[in-house]
Amino acid sequence: MRRVLLVAALLCCGSGALAAQAGVSGTVVDASTGFPLEGVWVGVDTLEAGVLSGPEGKFVYDGPPSVDGTLLARRIGYVTVRVDAVDGMRIEMTPNVEQLDGIDVSAEAAAVEARARRAQSTAFLDSEAIDRVQDQTLGGTIERVPGVAVIQYGPSIAKPVVRGLHSQRVVVSNDGVRQEGQQWGGEHAPEIDVFGADRIEIVRGPGAVEHGSDAMGGVVRIEPARLTRTAGWSGEVATHAFANNLQGAASMGLENGALDLPLLGTVSSRFRVTARRAGDATAPGFNLDNTGFSEFSVSGTLGWIGDRRRTEVTLSRYDTQLGLFSGAHVGNFDDLQRVIERGPRPTDFAYEIDNPRQEVTHDRVMVRHQALLDDGREVELSYAFQLNRRREFDNHGPLANRDVPAFGLDLYTHSVEGSYGVDHGDGTMRFGVSGMRQGNISVGKGYLIPQYRLYTGGAWVRDEHSFGAVTVNAGVRADYRWQRVFPPPDRGLDLELTTDTWADLSGGLGATWEFAQGWFVGSYVGRAWRAANVNERFSQGVHHGTAQYELGDATLDKESTTSVDATLRRTGERFRLQLNAFRNVIDGYVYLRPREPVLTIRGAYPAFEYRQSDAFLSGLELDLDVGVGAGIALFGQGSLIRGENRELDEPLYDMPADRMRTGVRWTPESRELRGLSVEASALLVREQDRVPAETVYGLPTEGYQLVDVGLGWSGLEVAGRELDVSLDVTNLLDRSYRDYLSRYRLFVNDPGRDVVLRLRMPLGG
Amino acid sequence: MNTHVRTLASVALVSLIGVAACDDDPTAPTENEQELITAVELTLTPAAGGAAIVTTINDPDGLGPQPPEAQDTPIALQAGAVYNGSVRFLDTSDPNDVEDITVEVREEDDEHRVFYTVVGLAGVEVPLASLDTDGNGAPLGLTFQIVTGAASGGEGSLGVVLSHFDDEPKGDGLTPSDETDASVSFTMTVG
């Protein structure tokens, strides 16, 4: 007898000696009513492609054979079952009262199926995977995904870079709402509580029309857990401890599917509170002064869930204080030279967060209504208000004003979205409209970007159509953008009231062909565009922490990209592969170019100005996982990217260095060790020598190698409770290295060895 | 249907909160709170008696992209003389409320030091011993002396750098910090 335990995805596990025959057919029925069930996912396991049962509950499974001769049947609202695969089989499914309504059923089934057939290159982390890799920040959590890198300021600020692009070129969508934070610099990271993420999807490359026109690099989509309908309180407590910066983090999630509230009636509810405190990070033998940070977030969702309609209201606040490495905080060019030459001065570990620092809060109110109409049609409407407040505290200037921010920005965003989906039998078609009103207010004397008013409107349509083994995805989107920029009342700034409008089309077309069982080949052509942003057009000031003077250019036009992407994908239990190749042709790529220093009363600053130039980006991504028997799997994840300025014939600044992670994972097959997973991997990063000339920031970084080991146990029974526990050691050998995208790399090494302990315990239920 | 009424009511309520929280009018003037150094003023008085030279370098946009303006009065010194100097750092961004930041520098004298560098003028120096000192006896430099040698002459400059010691200790005050608060250069002739 043989047991195959899949830590990542499996809910249950069956036994049997025979392999399932190709071409097993059967019927799925509701065990309580005997009625046939449509839309039940049938497959070997959730990592493989499966089939969906048809209108009469019938299915024909011709996917990859199962090792133990069983098939899994899943549908939201029913208990997942595993049954022996016999031709003509009848699968009875028991309704799960804890589960959800029709909207989730169609969404989940479609999502599982669509993922394997999507022409666009996509990576997906489910809740188990997130638990296993969850880091201090969103960026750190998705860093291992091929094609993703992070720009980092120590451990606290990690900005995701997808296919070499970041900031406004990567859309972060949180619970269906585009995150509107302040992405004016590398030191501005997304304001999201990673504990609240249940699923994360990373779409690489442009062309995901429902998220806006400007996702030139890609989309990071974060989804929270779905609302429960089970009455009574249940939840979880999760705690993380990080040895490197003596960080503690704890998060508690609670839910109650039938909460009686005055005036509001009986509602489904979900609440989460997260707190985090970190001290200085430590590079090998060196304390990174003032790199501590803290976070506090709360969120609550109430939902009115009917069989065919649901309304959700979510309120959330994310509050963080981030210290910036004091050794990198210099006054002018002479100071910068001094620090680089003699290195920063040694300090002792502290939790205290001193200047320079950032205080950021992000508040969100979101209301969404979904209704399931007849014939598989569905309507969704949502409204969101977001308020992002950012305060940056400088270490310079008169002492009496240390508690007055050097500059502050308040970003107010109202957005509405509406979409209509229809299941046309061979797939789904969806139409949508969206609108946004945004106001940016400056607070404080320092100037970074001007105040502005922004209106955007867009309409899109997207279709997925299956022709047997071939699935075609297509989408098109039209956008209009109106922006008025107000000159600051301050002295000396060369700025006038300007109003601009932009309009253009974006979209994509692609197809996937399942040329053999579990083997897919796909290609996608995507187009995206982006209006030059206020910081690119109107920046006039110093970015502290880098002593870098940035000057905008008000005449910058929009940039646009056309990307061709090819994917080879193998889904399966023992052999999984995703190989992507892409080429991005960018017209009018906006970037920072060095210019003569700017002289101020504080001395000279190295200066950069925003320019536009045509560019190429091309690259390869590999994600491979091969089982070699005895529960041992080998894996490899690699990214390679090349950025080229087509006009100047030189490399683009800020491209991630080539990297490859290879490792081995052991998930023991014995019953006693069920849920255990042990992993060791090595990360090899090549030197980044493809850098533009003439800038101190273009200094190449050397290659480095890191070894990581980890051990995780999900469902470990302790005192009658099932715990998820993991212990990871990153940079096991405590190597000194500097990543090219680390913004402190001119001054200090990146953080050294870290030991991370994660614990998750269910409550109630 | 009752639940729908409640749903709509709560949706309306939440939306109202959202709209009410809105104070996002970008045409409103911004508050200006943080102080900046926008002017450096030197006063040089001949020790032997005579009229003082008062000269200022203004940079109205502070850290803005416009370079500092030229000094408003030339510095013409006699050879073979001693000048008692003093420096002031000012925030002149509001002409009706000029702030003298020198007061704060003096209050926190153990975290500041003014460095003077003579460039291109042989025989002209700012003796370290002439600088005033902080409470710990380390040089501060809000007052200083310029000594011109009998044989000195020509045109050069006097660099004035206000170093701020917040992260790193000032110690003996002989090394500049990495946190420069002001750095300007006055042209100066001797002869």
Architecture of domain B35-190: Sandwich (2.60)
User: Could you tell me if A446 lies within 8 Å of chain B, comparing CB atoms?
Assistant: yes
Give the DSSP letter of residue A720: T
**What part of A 70-109 touches B (C-beta under 8 Å)?**
none
Residue pair A276/A248 in contact by the 8 Å Cβ criterion: yes
pLDDT of A4 reads: 33
And the tokens for A108? 């989940």
In a domain, A317, yes or no: yes
Sort out which chain B residues have CB atoms less than 8 A from A326's CB and list them.
167
The 10 Å CB-count burial string (b at 16+, else e) for A313-328 is: bbbbbbbbbbbbbbbb
**What part of A 450-469 touches B (C-beta under 8 Å)?**
451-453
DSSP letter for each residue of A673-706:
GTTEEEEEEEEEE--B----SS-GGG--B--EEE
pLDDT digits (tens, 9 = 90+) for B117-163: 999 998 999 999 999 999 999 999 999 999 999 888 899 999 999 99
Nearest CB among B59, B168, B181 relative to A397 is that of B181
Residue pair A621/A578 in contact by the 8 Å Cβ criterion: yes
List CB contacts of B60: < 8 A, sequence separation 6 or more. Answer: A491, A492, B38, B66, B69, B92, B93
Sort out which chain B residues have CB atoms less than 8 A from A304's CB and list them.
3, 6-7
- Compute the distance between CA of residue B75 and CA of residue A437 in angstroms, rounded to an integer: 56
Closest CA–CA distance from residue A362 to any residue of chain B (Å)? 13
Side-chain-side CA neighbours of A402 within 13 Å: the count stands at: 10
pLDDT of A755 reads: 96
CB-based contact B67 A599, cutoff 8 Å: yes
Nearest CB among A400, A405, A438 relative to B104 is that of A400
In a domain, A106, yes or no: no
CB-based contact A400 B180, cutoff 8 Å: no
**What part of A 312-351 touches B (C-beta under 8 Å)?**
313, 315, 326-327, 329-332, 334-336, 338-339, 345
CB-based contact B60 A491, cutoff 8 Å: yes
CATH code (residue A302): 2.40.170.20
**Count of A-B CB contacts under 8 Å:** 213
Closest CA–CA distance from residue B96 to any residue of chain A (Å)? 15
- Compute the distance between CA of residue B174 and CA of residue B168 in angstroms, rounded to an integer: 13
The reply to whether A341 and A483 lie within a common domain is yes
Residue A178 vs residues A191, A210, A389, A400, A505: alpha-carbon distances, Å: 12, 10, 17, 39, 19
The reply to whether A601 and A647 lie within a common domain is yes
Cα B46 off chain centre by: 24
List CB contacts of A255: < 8 A, sequence separation 6 or more. Answer: A225, A227, A228, A233, A234, A235, A268, A269, A270, A271
Residue pair A564/A204 in contact by the 8 Å Cβ criterion: no
ipTM associated with this complex: 0.83
The reply to whether A131 and A65 lie within a common domain is no
The reply to whether A425 and A315 lie within a common domain is yes
| Alpha helices (H) along A564-694 | none
Could you tell me the residue ranges of all domains in chain B?
35-190
CATH code (residue A88): 2.60.40.1120
- Compute the distance between CA of residue A209 and CA of residue A173 in angstroms, rounded to an integer: 13
In a domain, A657, yes or no: yes
The reply to whether A627 and A512 lie within a common domain is yes
Sheet architecture: strand order including A89-93: A58-61, A24-30, A89-93
And the tokens for A23? 């071409």
Nearest alpha carbon to residue B162 among A546, A444, A332: A332
Residue A575 vs residues A122, A130, A418: alpha-carbon distances, Å: 18, 21, 40
Sort out which chain B residues have CB atoms less than 8 A from A406's CB and list them.
34
User: Could you tell me if A439 lies within 8 Å of chain B, comparing CB atoms?
Assistant: yes
pLDDT of A8 reads: 30
Query: Phi/psi at A744 (nearest 5 deg)?
Result: -100, 10
The reply to whether A479 and A427 lie within a common domain is yes
Burial of B141 (0-12, 13-18, 19+ CB in 10 A): buried
Residue pair A75/A39 in contact by the 8 Å Cβ criterion: yes
Sort out which chain B residues have CB atoms less than 8 A from A444's CB and list them.
30-34
Bridge partner list, A437? A414, A455
Q: Whole-prediction pTM value?
A: 0.83
- Compute the distance between CA of residue A270 and CA of residue A302 in angstroms, rounded to an integer: 7
Ranges assigned E (strand) in A262-292? 265-278, 281-283, 286-288
And the tokens for A140? 């750190």
For chain A, residues with pLDDT lower than 70 are 1-22, 32-33, 45-49, 65-67, 76-77, 96-116, 395-402, 444-446, 489-494, 544-547, 694-700, 765
User: Could you tell me if B47 lies within 8 Å of chain A, comparing CB atoms?
Assistant: no
Ranges assigned E (strand) in A468-518? 470-486, 498-516
And the tokens for A468? 């047997």
* Residue given tokens 């590999």 in the structure block: A622
List CB contacts of B119: < 8 A, sequence separation 6 or more. Answer: B156, B157, B158, B159, B185
Nearest alpha carbon to residue B178 among B190, B161, B159, B156: B161
Bridge partner list, A754? A730
Side-chain-side CA neighbours of A729 within 13 Å: the count stands at: 9
Side-chain-side CA neighbours of A498 within 13 Å: the count stands at: 13
In a domain, A408, yes or no: yes
- Compute the distance between CA of residue A202 and CA of residue A143 in angstroms, rounded to an integer: 11
In a domain, A528, yes or no: yes
| More confident site: B63 or A658 | A658
3-state DSSP assignment of residue A238: strand
Residue pair A117/A521 in contact by the 8 Å Cβ criterion: no
CB-based contact B26 A440, cutoff 8 Å: yes
User: Could you tell me if A553 lies within 8 Å of chain B, comparing CB atoms?
Assistant: no
Query: Which residue of chain B is at minimal alpha-carbon distance from A447?
Result: B64
| More confident site: A405 or B10 | A405
Residue pair A446/A467 in contact by the 8 Å Cβ criterion: no
And the tokens for A39? 């839309």
Nearest CB among B62, B101, B104 relative to A600 is that of B62
Sort out which chain A residues have CB atoms less than 8 A from B36's CB and list them.
397, 445
3-state DSSP assignment of residue A114: helix
Query: Phi/psi at A441 (nearest 5 deg)?
Result: -115, 135
Nearest CB among B57, B93, B104 relative to A398 is that of B104
Bridge partner list, A239? A250, A759
pLDDT of A10 reads: 30
And the tokens for A412? 């107010």
Ranges assigned E (strand) in A122-176? 122-125, 148-153, 157-162, 170-174
Residue pair A280/A292 in contact by the 8 Å Cβ criterion: yes
Count of structural domains within chain A = 2
Nearest CB among A486, A540, A602 relative to B181 is that of A602
**What part of B 80-109 touches A (C-beta under 8 Å)?**
91, 93, 101, 104, 107-108
User: Could you tell me if B28 lies within 8 Å of chain A, comparing CB atoms?
Assistant: yes
- Asked whether residue B58 carries a pLDDT value surpassing 80, the answer given is yes
CB-based contact A313 B11, cutoff 8 Å: yes
The reply to whether A50 and A181 lie within a common domain is no
CB-based contact B15 A452, cutoff 8 Å: no
Query: Phi/psi at A566 (nearest 5 deg)?
Result: -125, 135
pLDDT of A475 reads: 93
Bridge partner list, A684? A660, A705
Q: Which domain holds residue A83?
A: 1-96
Closest CA–CA distance from residue B63 to any residue of chain A (Å)? 6
Tell me how crowded residue A607 is: count the other CB atoms within 10 A of its CB: 20
Nearest CB among B21, B30, B111 relative to A488 is that of B30
